[in-house]
Structure 1
Amino acid sequence: MREKHFFAGICCFCGALLLGVFTTANALEISTTFGKEGGEDFSVLSLRNDSAFSCQEITDVYSKVLSIECEIARIPDRGFPGLENSFFRINYKMIDGHFWLYIYPKHKQKLFAIPKDPKADFTMDKNPQQNAKIWQIVGYKNKIPFLSQDMQDQRQGLDFPVKILGEQTPFIPELNSDNRPLKATNNKDFEIYSLVKQAMERQDYISAITEINEALKQNPNSVFRRDLTYDRIIATSKLELDDNEVLINPALEWVRAFASDPDVPEILYILAKAYVKNNVPNEAEYYYKRISDEYPESKIAPLAQMQLANLAKTNSPTRASIYFQKAYTEAKDIPSASEIAAQWALFEAEQRDMQSAQDLLQKVLDNYPRFFVDSLAQTQEIIEALIENEDYATPAKIAQVVIKNAPDIATKEEYSFRLGEYYANALDFDKAHEYNQSYIKEFEEDYKDRAKLVQDRDDEILFAIGGDDVDKLKRYAYIITKYPDTDESAKAKELSAQILLSARKYQDVMSIYENDPDNAYRKKAIESMIKDAAAKKECASIVPYLTQNVPYELSAQEKLFVFDCASGAGLNASAKYIAQGMVESSKTQDARLEWLYRVANNLYNLGEYKDASLAARDALTLAINQKKHYDIAFTLFDILSALDSRNEAKKALPFLKEHFANDARILPVYATLLGYSIDEKDSMSIELYARDIIKLQSALKTDEFTPYAEFALANVLRENKNLAQALSTLKPLESKQLDKEDSQQLFYRIASIYNAQAKPKEALEYFDKCAQIDTQSEWRTLCVQAKELIAGNAGAGAGADSSAKADSEVESSQN
Structure 2
Amino acid sequence: MRLWIALCLCLPLYALELSIQSGKEEGEKFSILHLRDISPFSCKATNDEFGEARRIECYLPASLKQTFSPIDNTYLKVSAVSSSNGYIITVLPKAKMKLIPIPFNLSKDIQTYQADITTTDHWTVVGYKKTFPLLKPSVPPESAINFPVKLSKDSVPYVGGLDLKGNPIKITRVQDVTDYMEMKKAYVAKDYDKVLDLADNTLKSYPKTVFKNELMLYQIRALHEKEEPEKLLEIAKRFLRDYSADPNVAEVLAYTARAYGKIGQSIDADYFFDRLFDEQSDSVFASLGMVYKAEQLEASGEPKKALSFYQKALASSSDVAIASKAAFRLAQMELDGGNAQKAAQYIDKIASANPNYFDEVRENATQMADTFVNRNDPKTATKITEGLLNKTDKKSPDHQVLLKNLGLQLAKAGKRSEALKRFNEYLSTYKYGDYVEEVRRAKDGLFFDEGDQNSTSEIKKYNDLIERYGDDSVGQKALYKKAQLLVKEKKYKEVLDMESDLYRLESTEYPETDGMITKSAIGLEKEYLKAGKCTEAMKLQTMYRIKLLPQWDSLIFDCAIKTTQYDVAKKIVQPHLKSKSVSERQNWLYRMVKTEFELGEYKQAVKGGEELITLLGVEKNPPLNDIYRIMFDSAQRTGDANAMIRQAKAIETAFGTDFKDIERYTQMVSLGLTRKDEAMVQTYGRKVVALQERTKTFTQSPYIEFTLAQSYQNLNKDKDALNILKTLSTKKLTNEKRSRQQYLIGAIAQKMGRTAEAKAAFNASIKADKNSAWGKLAKDALGLF
TM above 0.5? no
* Structure number with bigger Rg: 1
Where relative contact order (Cα < 8 A, 6+ residues apart) is larger, the structure is: 1
The alignment's TM-score, normalised by the length of structure 2, stands at 0.36
